[in-house]
Amino acid sequence: MSETFKKGDVVWAPDPFREGQNPRLWLVLSAEGLPYQGEEYICAVLTTSDLPANDRVGENWETGRNPDKESYCSPWVIDRIFLLLTPAGTARSKQIVNTLQNSRSWLPVPAKTEVHCNGSLLYV
């Protein structure tokens, strides 16, 4: 089992968009209450790409900031990460809140949704 991480930690983990051993930075959004707590995490990808929908991390770094590069968090690239490599730093809670709020626009959930289950109509 890898080292245990918490919400706000920034870690190096495998990059699902590249082949081989090219890890990338991920921001841990959720570390508790998951089925395999301490072994898997919900994370958002960090990048140096200044895309319009990315959140600039800037002063929201607590530790680990590279002063030569600007970091951005992509709120639409959220994944379950279970192969963490090494810690890389920590982001402030403000960055977690920003990323979670901005990810909602990419994951819209209607206020009331009908679900049919075993002949019953449920509203969630």
CATH code for residues 9-123: 2.30.30.110
pLDDT recorded at residue 19: 77
Angle in degrees, CA 57, 87, 40, rounded to 5: 95
Q: Tens digit of pLDDT for each residue in 76-118?
A: 899 988 877 689 999 999 998 888 888 877 776 666 656 655 5
CA 91 to each of CA 2, 22, 104, 115, 121: distance values in angstroms, whole numbers, following the listed order = 20, 22, 20, 37, 42
For residue 124, pLDDT beyond 60: no
CA distance 91 to 57: 8
pLDDT tens track for 14-26: 888 787 778 899 9
Q: For residues 91 and 115, what is the distance between their CA atoms, to the nearest angstrom?
A: 37
Sequence ranges of the domains in the chain: 9-123
The band of 1, judged by pLDDT with boundaries at 50, 70 and 90, is: very low
